[in-house]
Amino acid sequence: MITKEELNISKQCKILKISRSSLYYKPKEAANVDETALINEIYSIYDEAYFYGHIKVHRELLRRGFKVGLKKVRQLREKLEIKAVCPSFSRYRARKCDNKFPYLLNGIVVTRPNQVWQSDITYVPTSEGYAYKTAIIDVYSRKILSYKVTATLQQGSCIDTLSDALRNFPQPEIFNTDQGSQFASENFFKPLLDRQIKVSMDGKGRALDNIFIERYWRSYKYENVYLFKYQNIFDAKAKTANYVDFYNKKRLHASLDYKTPDEVYFEELHRSKNYDKYVKLTG
């Protein structure tokens, strides 16, 4: 008869045809993570470091106290369609229905209001889901000329935002956006071309081409959205209206010699190329 001392662990595993390592395996308990908070934090990290991949985002989440696995982070980023922004050497082949315009801001020095406008769309987290904000910024003064907060991502909000800006201010010389479908539609860019406004689009995957509106999104979210934690679309609209009013009229900008966007815009509005035309139209 074989004694226990003679039949050690290795021999027992060999007889039972199991790996020795599996004998000591203890399954990890699934971490109980608030998925909504996790998604918000992933978006927050993307705002700070849009060039981070899954691994760095996972490491940053661990540093911030989230007990979550790399696989979960990868699944969420794929679900949210978040990808690291980095230079690519592959050529983008546009579909026949795509309308693309060249990027016109390389080497341009912006020296007056309404020389260049930029527009973009960003998500706005609320307790009831995501809303969306479309905005147009004057690059020279950083003034927000027009914006819309909507419950869904629709082209109509972009067209309405553009119409408001063109109606209330002298038209720009160049209008820059990304290559999103909302901006690539003829319904959006035709009013610009009809007014002889040059249309410019960012390079594919080049978020920094639209840097001034991107900087505004960062200020808007860190100074308002993340602080007040919007409850719903109505709360988002009300608090966003207060912030835009503060941003334009009271927020000091180091890049503007500590003036506000409104101060810079209206002090030098007369230098706009289309100012005289605007005065005639508005009386």
What would the mean pLDDT of 113-121 be, rounded to a whole number? 96
Residue 170 is predicted with a pLDDT of 96
Residue 154 is predicted with a pLDDT of 84
d(CA 212, CA 210): 6
Q: pLDDT tens digits for 144-193?
A: 999 999 998 888 999 999 999 999 999 999 999 988 888 988 999 999 99
pLDDT tier, 96 (very low <50, low <70, confident <90, very high otherwise): very low
The answer, yes or no, to whether residue 109 has pLDDT greater than 80, is yes
DSSP state of 50: T
d(CA 189, CA 183): 7
What would the mean pLDDT of 103-132 be, rounded to a whole number? 93
Q: State which fold the 116-282 domain adopts.
A: Nucleotidyltransferase; domain 5 (3.30.420)
* CA 64 to the chain's CA centroid: 21
Residue partners of 282: CB distance under 8 A and separation at least 6: none
Q: What angle do CA 165, 111, 247 make, to 5 degrees?
A: 50
Residue 5 is predicted with a pLDDT of 61
d(CA 82, CA 87): 16
Residue 88 dihedral angles phi and psi, to the nearest 5°: -130, 140
Residue 230 is predicted with a pLDDT of 95
* CA 106 to the chain's CA centroid: 22
Residue ranges of domains in the chain: 9-79, 116-282
The upper half-sphere exposure of residue 142, i.e. CA atoms within 13 Å in the direction of its Cβ, equals: 28
The token pair at 84 is 């690291």
pTM, full prediction: 0.66
pLDDT tier, 1 (very low <50, low <70, confident <90, very high otherwise): low
